[in-house]
Amino acid sequence: MKKFVSLLSFEMDRFLKFLVPTLLITAAIQLFVTVTEALSYNNELEKIIARGDSVDQVPSFSLQNVTANGLFELSIMLIVLVFMFYSFFTWYREWLGKNTFIYRLLMLPTNRSYLLLSKSLVFIIGGLMAFVFQFGSYFVELKLAEWLVTDGHYTLLNIHNVQPMYGLAQEVLFPTSLIKFISIYSFAFAALTSLFAGILIERSFGLKGLILGAVYFIGFFVLYILLDNILYSASLIIRPSQKAIAMLLYQFFIIGLGTLVSHLLLKNRIKV
């Protein structure tokens, strides 16, 4: 266990070099958007008052004015893109980096599955860090907007209502219910384990493995869509809660299968 903790700490230190700067950049962008949107709203109010018009018909300002901004959405996508990039980088860096570091990792006197587990766990920890970070950012932005906007023209929203309608990026990173959280993050982890398995298939079998790995990874999404469509067609006899459970079971199955495939390849196929 001590060796696993050391390996996890090593992997986490490497990932944080990517994640922390990304979160700081995201925070800076979101605060900038909050300030500019609030001040822009105040300026519009001042122009209306200067013309002698009534401000009663002017919609009040809320954090949705901020979160619907395209730049705010891009800041959310930046976090998602870093996770996507690192999911490839974490493996290929080992083989393609200086001195092919993967050989040193595989020769460590410990279970090779620890390598897979540590890399997977880093994404779980990192995902929770990003989730908590965005959760806290919303609270800061709510208070900042309330402080900046002219009195009487600000609507304080519940934390679960701050996302704009159709804000897909924010819905993915910050689901507003426990069921959505489990569903979205289990889907993401199932995709991650499928990708890891696909990469290890490619590393194990060369060009043939590249094709097999790509088919394996893409197959997860194809089967997911097919299953979702089948359950949607059967909506008259299957309740929404039953459909959600079926999709979760599929995702958990894929997580187990991907972990098993990766474990077997690391143990039996990939040689130093």
193 and 80 assigned to the same domain: no
What residues form DSSP beta bridges with 154?
Answer: 61
Same domain assignment for residues 171 and 56: yes
**CB burial readout 45-61, b (16+ within 10 A) else e:** beeeeeeeeeeeeeeeb
In this structure, the number of other CB atoms found within 10 A of the CB of residue 85 comes to: 12
Q: Show the domain range for 168.
A: 1-176
Out of 176, 207, 235, pick the residue that ends a domain: 176
Q: What's CA 266's distance to the chain center, in Å?
A: 26
Domain boundary among 139, 154, 176: 176
Burial class (CB in 10 A: 0-12, 13-18, 19+), 183: middle
Residues 165, 236, single domain; the answer is: no
- Whether the CB-CB separation of 203 and 88 falls below 8 Å is answered with no
pLDDT tens string 80-133? 899 999 998 888 777 776 656 666 666 666 677 788 888 899 999 998 999 899
Domain shared by 66 and 197, yes or no: no
Q: Where does residue 2 rank: exposed (0-12), middle (13-18), buried (19+ CB within 10 A)?
A: exposed
Judge if 25 and 111 occupy the same domain. yes
Considering the domain architecture, whether residues 76 and 31 belong to the same structural domain is answered as yes
* CA 137 and chain centroid, separation: 16
Domain count, the chain: 2
Q: What is the pLDDT of residues 47-68, one digit of tens each?
A: 887 777 777 777 888 888 898 8
Collect the ranges in the chain with pLDDT lower than 70: 97-110, 165-173, 176, 234-236, 271-272
Helix (H, G, I), strand (E, B) or coil at 154: strand
